């Protein structure tokens, strides 16, 4: 079974700490307002500074590995000789069973970032993922392409409803959230904080939903492979390779072999991540 904490064990989170970039943003807004009031001629400069700041916030939200909008797990903590395979956008009734068979054959455990509505349609498949020792993590309720444009209420629904549904269906509380396409905005971190969820992005991704060449995807994932890497593949929306099979089925065997050749153990996020509010 997974090493994830059982349901209802999450400690009450401490107060949400403002990320430094957000603190600086609030300070800038205050300073701009004060400057515009004190020196009426300065208002175009103040407005320009605020507009530039909003552009920076938008850019940070469009940069999946950014830490400006809050903590973002891009590598496994701890420095152990281990890597995590993360598999997004399932469960898929056709692809996921084949991936589970292959992982069992390879003797490897992975972390599945599941879309909760897809999990609701495939409850037996979700249970099979957990029973095999893999970890189930939160990849939103619907994978809505407008996710990064949502306000606090929409984000709470997309993340919170997914969390409740995935916990209910799998019997295990996800500890990690990955934003659809990695895109987000400043309202997301308070929502994740309240749910004791880590934002997890990746060290390297294979772009396996766009690239149909397994060798290219393998090269992207294994170039510079090192301890702590979080690697991203997809079982939902999977591209087919030259073999006609979902791409990750051709990528996983050589990728696992390269990890092992480099002395790296494959672990799940449930094994590798401490609780977000460990000291609470």
Query: Catalytic site residues?
Result: 88, 234
Stretch near Zn ion under the rule CB under 5 A, chosen from 32-40, 83-91, 165-173, 204-212: 83-91
Give the number of residues written for the chain.
280
Q: How far is the CB of 32 from Zn ion (least distance, A)?
A: 37
Stretch near Zn ion under the rule CB under 5 A, chosen from 33-41, 75-83, 87-95, 166-174: 87-95
How many degrees, rounded to 5, is the angle at CA 63 between CA 238 and CA 176?
65
Stretch near Zn ion under the rule CB under 5 A, chosen from 89-97, 186-194, 205-213, 216-224: 89-97
Q: Which of 61, 64, 69, 89 binds Zn ion (CB under 5 A)?
A: 89
Query: 147: burial class by Cβ within 10 Å (0-12, 13-18, 19+)?
Result: buried
Q: Residue 89 or residue 271: which is nearer to Zn ion going by CB? A: 89
Q: How far is the CB of 73 from Zn ion (least distance, A)?
A: 16
**Contact present, 53 and 28 (Cβ < 8 Å):** yes
**Contact present, 152 and 116 (Cβ < 8 Å):** no
Site for Zn ion contains 88 (CB under 5 A): yes
Q: Residue 77 or residue 93: which is nearer to Zn ion going by CB? A: 93
Q: Residue 82 or residue 137: which is nearer to Zn ion going by CB? A: 137
Q: How far is the CB of 139 from Zn ion (least distance, A)?
A: 6
Site for Zn ion contains 92 (CB under 5 A): no
Count of residues touching Zn ion (by CB under 5 A) = 2
- Contact string (CB under 5 A) for Zn ion, positions 43-82, x = contact: ----------------------------------------
In 3D, which of 143, 152, 100, 108 has the Cα closest to residue 125? 100
Residues 6+ apart with CB under 8 A from 257: none
Q: Residue 88 or residue 271: which is nearer to Zn ion going by CB? A: 88
Query: 256: burial class by Cβ within 10 Å (0-12, 13-18, 19+)?
Result: buried
Q: Which residues of 155-171 are buried (b: 16+ CB within 10 A; e: fewer)?
A: bbbbbbebbebbbebbb
**Which residues 98-137 are close enough to bind Zn ion by CB under 5 A?**
none
Q: How far is the CB of 225 from Zn ion (least distance, A)?
A: 22
| 50 SS3 class | helix
Q: Residue 19 or residue 184: which is nearer to Zn ion going by CB? A: 184
Q: How far is the CB of 182 from Zn ion (least distance, A)?
A: 8
Q: In this structure, what token pair is assigned to residue 25?
A: 């943003």
Site for Zn ion contains 208 (CB under 5 A): no
Measured in degrees and rounded to the nearest 5, phi and psi for residue 67 equal: -115, 10
Residues that bind Zn ion (CB under 5 A): 88-89
């Amino acid at each position: 079974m997974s090493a994830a904490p059982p349901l209802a064990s999450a400690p009450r989170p401490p107060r949400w700490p403002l990320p430094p970039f957000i603190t600086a943003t609030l300070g800038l807004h205050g300073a701009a307002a004060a400057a515009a009031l004190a020196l009426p001629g300065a208002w175009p400069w103040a407005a320009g500074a605020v507009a530039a700041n909003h552009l920076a916030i938008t850019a940070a939200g469009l940069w999946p590995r950014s830490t400006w909008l809050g903590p973002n797990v891009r590598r496994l903590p701890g420095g152990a000789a281990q890597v995590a395979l993360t598999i997004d956008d399932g469960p898929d009734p056709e692809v996921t069973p084949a991936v589970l068979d292959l992982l069992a054959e390879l003797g490897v455990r992975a972390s599945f970032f599941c879309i909760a509505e897809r999990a609701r349609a495939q409850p037996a498949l979700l249970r099979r993922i957990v029973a095999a020792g893999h970890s189930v993590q939160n990849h939103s309720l619907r994978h809505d392409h407008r996710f990064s444009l949502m306000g606090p209420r929409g984000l709470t629904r997309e993340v919170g409803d997914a969390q409740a549904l995935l916990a209910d269906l799998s019997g295990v509380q996800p500890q990690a959230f990955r934003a659809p396409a990695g895109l987000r905005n400043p309202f997301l971190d308070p929502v994740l904080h309240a749910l004791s969820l880590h934002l997890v992005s990746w060290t390297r991704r294979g772009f396996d939903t766009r690239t149909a060449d397994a060798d290219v995807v393998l090269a992207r994932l294994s170039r510079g492979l090192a301890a702590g890497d979080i690697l991203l593949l997809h079982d939902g929306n999977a591209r087919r390779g030259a073999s006609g099979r979902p791409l990750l089925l051709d990528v996983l065997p050589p990728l696992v072999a390269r990890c092992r050749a480099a002395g790296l153990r494959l672990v799940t996020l449930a094994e590798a991540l401490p609780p977000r509010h460990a000291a609470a």
